[in-house]
């Protein structure tokens, strides 16, 4: 039976950093005990969310996309209403671009809220992408 390798903390021992690991019995086929398997999965999801945010930010900056609800309105975008994504069923806001094309965004409760295209956060965005 393997021991859980989840790092609980780091400590200094004689000037060197050492990991303090859990050490409980790991689940079958896993590196972690049941509790830390759950925490490991949450941490992995958080890292994926951070990467999606970084990718969306880079894309928006490269495309000159508005960064806030206020910038959307000032840039000629028109709010057309709320809806639900047909793929992931998340709530979205529909906007019309200055070129009169529909654009889904994640909900933005305030004028200063960050504008995030739903294409960047939808799990199924590849389905809706036009073929090149």
Summarize the confidence of residues 32-61 as an average pLDDT. Answer: 72
Laid out side by side, the sheet with 91-96 consists of 78-84, 91-96, 102-105
Q: How far apart are CA 105 and CA 82, in angstroms?
A: 10
Residue with tokens 């969310």: 49
Tens-digit pLDDT profile for residues 47-104: 777 787 777 777 766 666 777 888 888 888 999 999 999 888 889 999 998 889 999 9
Q: How far apart are CA 81 and CA 79, in angstroms?
A: 6
For residue 8, is pLDDT > 80? Answer: no
């Amino acid at each position: 039976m393997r021991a859980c390798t989840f790092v609980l903390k780091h400590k200094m021992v004689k000037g060197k950093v050492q990991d303090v690991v859990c050490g409980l019995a790991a689940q079958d086929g896993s590196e972690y005990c049941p509790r830390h398997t759950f925490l490991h999965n949450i941490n992995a999801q958080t890292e994926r969310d951070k990467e999606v945010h970084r990718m969306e930010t880079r894309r928006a900056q490269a495309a000159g996309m508005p960064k806030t609800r206020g910038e959307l309105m000032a840039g000629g975008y028109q709010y057309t209403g709320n809806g639900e994504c047909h793929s992931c069923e998340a709530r979205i806001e529909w906007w019309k671009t200055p070129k009169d094309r529909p654009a889904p965004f994640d909900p933005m409760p305030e004028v200063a809220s960050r504008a995030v295209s739903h294409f960047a956060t939808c799990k199924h965005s590849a389905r809706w992408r036009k073929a090149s």
